Amino acid sequence: MMDDLLLKYYKILGIQAGSTEREIDKAYHDIIKNPELQNGNWERLKEINLAYEGLKNYLSSSREKKIERQQAVPLDKKNESLETKPSIGLWAGISVILFILLAAVFFFRESLFKSHEANISKIIKSIKPAVVTVRFGNAQGSGFVIDESGYIITNYHVVKEKSGTVTFPDGVPSEANVIKLDKQKDFALLKTVIGGKYPFIKLGDSDACSEGETVIAVGSPLSLEISFTKGIVSAKKRKLPFSDAVFIQTDAAVNFGNSGGPLINTSGEAIGINTLTVTKEIAEGLSFAVAINDVKALVKKGQQQSEAERARELEGLEQRRAEMEGETIQQRDKEKKDRAILDKWERERQVKQYAEGVEKVIRQRHEALASCLKTAHDNYTENWNNHCSQMGKFQKCPLPESTAQHLDNIHMQGRNECFKLYPQ
């Protein structure tokens, strides 16, 4: 039962005993909107606030006691409730199983990664004996043996004479003769002079490679004997404007001296011939290898050609050598002329850029001065019309001479300030 104080509170708010909290809030807000209370009836307002706060505290306390009663469940019912819930042991078991599964996934992932890395290392060890450093005079590149009799693939642009030297990873050099050339595919086939059984790299199927597949570029960059770089196939069957060869694009690093070395897949097969890379000033991770399928027919033809056919190949090589010497001189002259033209264009560009900058500054000053003068004139007109309004006259009315002179002086000062700020 309610005590007399609570009944009094309900009566002050003008509502029935036992009203809901929403009804109490509504009654309170309706009462305090009364203009009489807002005009200073402080005692009445104090009484209403006291009743409102008292009822709110009573209802809040009643809710808390109700919750406590609901939570005070008898022991036997509490045990029944616990029996319907999963036991701690069950949750512990589930947690252990999840932990074991996660550990297994992590272990499998790590094992797979280590297995992949071990496979790459195994491939490198197996192909390394068949990769050679190729030297023709001052020119140096890379190459790789493709059969046990000593046939070697390299790039056309590495070969400059009829014969050169190939050096195996163990440091043993061997003389090698040119057998077959193809300038458009940047392909050259060599043959060691010394017979024997050589380690070799099997030619793979470049058409079967896929974008994202791991590849290894092998060669002798910057005179460093045989090094390996790993990357992926970025694109297959790429065509470039200066060649009719088919290229494999990769992000594996191919540096100066890698030319002619093999591009190896994860089966340890050569699927390309490292040929060129785009400099880092232009693009990052952009290298190209001639697809091996594009030169297989040339390899077969070179291995089967006669001595007479080989002699004709070498005649072409001698002619190319003479042409290259002439091309080198012409290239230097062309580069010199091109540089002079580029320098001239750069000077003209800088002059034009400077002139445009000066013109822009002048234009901005003109615009700023015009805006400043307009503001000074608008202020002058506004002040003049304000004086007219104060005299009860129309706008732009005639003003007394002293007033007009004063406004003219102010206007002139504003204009002079504009010319100081934005000199022309």
Last residue of a domain, one of 248, 281, 305: 305
Q: Is 387 noted as a catalytic residue in this protein?
A: no
Residue 287 and residue 333 in one domain: no
Tell me, what CATH number does 215's domain have? 2.40.10.120
pLDDT at position 81 is 47
| pLDDT of 110 higher than 90 | no
Count: domains in the chain = 3
Q: Is 259 noted as a catalytic residue in this protein?
A: yes
Last residue of a domain, one of 52, 71, 90: 71
Residue 143 and residue 283 in one domain: yes
Whole-number Å distance between alpha carbons of 116 and 118: 5
**Can you say whether residue 297 is alpha, beta or left, with left for phi > 0 and alpha for psi between -120 and 50 degrees?**
alpha
Whole-number Å distance between alpha carbons of 255 and 141: 10
Provide mean pLDDT across the span 376-385: 92
In the three-class reduction of DSSP (H, G, I as helix; E, B as strand; rest coil), residue 34 is classed as coil
| pLDDT of 108 higher than 90 | no
Where in the sequence is the domain holding 46, given as residue range(s)? 4-71
In the three-class reduction of DSSP (H, G, I as helix; E, B as strand; rest coil), residue 233 is classed as strand
Say which of 186, 227, 234, 294 is annotated catalytic.
186
In the three-class reduction of DSSP (H, G, I as helix; E, B as strand; rest coil), residue 225 is classed as coil
Say which of 206, 234, 259, 287 is annotated catalytic.
259
User: 265-269 — which CB contacts under 8 Å span 24+ positions?
Assistant: 265/204, 265/209, 265/213, 265/214, 265/215, 266/119, 266/120, 266/123, 266/213, 266/214, 266/215, 267/123, 267/204, 268/123, 268/126, 268/127, 268/201, 268/202, 269/201, 269/202, 269/203, 269/204, 269/205
**pLDDT tens digits for range 205-247:** 999 999 999 999 999 887 777 889 999 999 999 998 888 899 9
> Which range in 62-71, 109-118, 288-297, 323-332 is most confidently predicted, on average pLDDT?
288-297
pLDDT at position 84 is 47
Residues 6+ apart with CB under 8 A from 417: 372, 376
Residue 301 and residue 332 in one domain: no
Residue 301 and residue 363 in one domain: no
Q: Which residue would you say has higher pLDDT here, 125 or 33?
A: 125
**pLDDT tens digits for range 155-190:** 998 988 888 999 999 888 999 999 998 988 999 999
| pLDDT of 144 higher than 90 | yes
Say which of 19, 25, 147, 157 is annotated catalytic.
157
As given in the structure block, the two tokens for residue 124 are 């490198």
Tell me the pLDDT band of 405, cut-offs 50, 70 and 90. very high
* CA-wise closest residue to 264 among 314, 227, 301: 227
pLDDT at position 320 is 65
pLDDT at position 106 is 57
Provide mean pLDDT across the span 196-210: 94
**pLDDT tens digits for range 311-323:** 877 776 667 666 7
pLDDT at position 41 is 65
Residue 169 and residue 279 in one domain: yes
Residue 338 and residue 295 in one domain: no
Residue 296 and residue 172 in one domain: yes
Instruction: Say what the pTM is.
Output: 0.51
Does residue 81 sit within a domain?
A: no
Residue 133 and residue 180 in one domain: yes
Residue 328 and residue 301 in one domain: no
In the three-class reduction of DSSP (H, G, I as helix; E, B as strand; rest coil), residue 185 is classed as coil
Cα angle, residue 155 at apex, residues 154 and 159 outer, rounded to 5°: 95
What backbone torsions phi and psi does residue 75 show, to the nearest 5 degrees?
-60, -40
Q: Is 411 noted as a catalytic residue in this protein?
A: no
